Amino acid sequence: MTTTIPPIPTDLQDERLRADTGMGGAIRAGIDRIRGGDLGFLPVIAGLAIIWTIFQILNPYFLSSGNLTNLLMESAPVGVIALGIVFVLLVGEIDLSVGSVSGLAAAIMAINFIDNRWPLPLAIAAAVGVAVLIGFAYGFIYNRIGVPSFVITLSGLLGFLGLQLFVLGPKGTINLPFDSPLVHFGQLAFVPQWLAYALVALAAAAVLVGGLLRARIRRNAGLSAPALSLTLIRAGLLAALLTFAVWYLYQARGVGWMVVFFVALVLLANYALTRTSWGRSLFAVGGNREAARRSGIRITAVYTTAFIACTTLAAVGGLLAAGRLASAAQSSGGGDVNLNAIAAAVIGGTSLFGGRGSAFAALLGILVIQSISSGLTLLNLDSSIRYMVTGAVVLIAVSLDAVARRSRSSHGRA
């Protein structure tokens, strides 16, 4: 395409490097990555496709606009909790108490909002504030006393469940009025169709402009940059996919604000993880704690902030769930919320061993979990089957991670 032969970019001058330029190069590099065990999101997307196909065959209502709309709304609360789990998994720790913390947050919000007649924002702030304190306490106990996070959060699982019951008192359930903004947000607030299309256009434009700008900065610095065609194709594909999704979902009620909120949180978390030094330090601590310490990173602060991020997002997820159910009950955050959140992060490709993962893991993982749940519900299979199937899927996902890790180490890709 170019008329003059440009100088070889700084990062491609080694003669051992195969020059992967243009479209063919991108595809070749992608195949190489997969063979090297760097599967990325391929397994979870493939898994999602298989699950959707099977359930669609078993029940033709499964892929209908109405069900998918519901599925997305159901995904948001636990998805937000799963997003928090990604942070602690990245530093190689675990939080088993997210379910209890989400339930506790719902209880605190409800008791203050309904019984104490606080304004809703204040009630929400109180709930989130308690979650921040819990995360801080986890970090303190972990750093100063050296209790493994598994044990700390297992105690938290029990302790905060107890506190949730205590806060709720003998009533056990507090209903939220249907006209409250939180319930409206959790059940009824849908993005107007034109705005949904506008958001799609915005997303595609952001990918395109961002890609072009980055390419120009890299080229000016004498580094290689992805071809223009590649950026165009990425933006185009994204636009086509999202436009189709929006069109299909608006056959029914469309896209809820809660879903948009969840996706926005995922994007924000992705930025924090990949483009800030804090995110970098999470990966570093998860990869090699000692190396991170010697690099001058304050690893105690990294652990504490990871725990705080997790408990805070758990509380936010709990509040969304309360809005969705229009109540805070003794069972809020109980049952399978805990394990679904952790399973979603792991299914999405976040390693349980630290140092590998992505914010998008929560998004894709929760879609898998909720698809299984929704599909089995449509088949009138009760929760016994659902637990077993979800358990099997988690096992498959972790096995895939283990196999991929072996392949990565033999191909030298950490």
Partner 1 sequence: MNATTATDTAAAPDGARPNLHTVLSLRGISKSFGAVAALTDIDLDVSSSEVVAIVGDNGAGKSTLVKVLSGVHAPDSGTIDFGGERVTLPTPMAALERGIATVFQDLALCDNLDVVQNLFLGRERRPFQLDEVGMEVRAWELLRQLSAKIPSVRIPIASLSGGQRQTVAIARSLLGDPKLIILDEPTAALGVAQTAEVLNLVERLRERGHGVILISHNMEDVKAVADRVVVLRLGRNNGEFRVGDVTTEEIISAITGATDNAVSRRRSRGDTASPTTHTITTEDAER
What is the binding site for partner 1 (CB under 8 A)?
10-11, 14, 16-17, 214, 217-218, 221-223, 275-278, 280-281, 283-284, 286-288, 290-292, 294-297, 355-356, 408-409, 411-414
d(CA 259, CA 76): 6
By beta-carbon proximity to partner 1, the closer residue of 140 and 278 is 278
The CB-of-237 to partner 1 minimum distance in angstroms stands at 23
Distances (CA, A) of 367 to 42, 52, 108, 117: 14, 10, 28, 36
The CB-of-35 to partner 1 minimum distance in angstroms stands at 14
3-class secondary structure, 28: helix
By beta-carbon proximity to partner 1, the closer residue of 116 and 410 is 410
The CB-of-14 to partner 1 minimum distance in angstroms stands at 4
d(CA 375, CA 361): 21
CA-based end-to-end distance of the chain: 36
By beta-carbon proximity to partner 1, the closer residue of 17 and 396 is 17
By beta-carbon proximity to partner 1, the closer residue of 116 and 295 is 295
d(CA 130, CA 49): 39
Distances (CA, A) of 220 to 5, 7, 216, 274: 16, 12, 6, 22
By beta-carbon proximity to partner 1, the closer residue of 189 and 299 is 299
The CB-of-17 to partner 1 minimum distance in angstroms stands at 5
The CB-of-210 to partner 1 minimum distance in angstroms stands at 12
Token pair listed for 310 = 């997790």
The CB-of-287 to partner 1 minimum distance in angstroms stands at 4
Is-contact 134 149, C-beta < 8 A?
no
In the chain, the amino acid numbered 277 is S
27 burial via Cβ count (<10 Å: 0-12, 13-18, 19+): exposed
By beta-carbon proximity to partner 1, the closer residue of 220 and 384 is 220
Distances (CA, A) of 347 to 48, 194, 398: 10, 33, 7
d(CA 202, CA 235): 11
By beta-carbon proximity to partner 1, the closer residue of 16 and 144 is 16
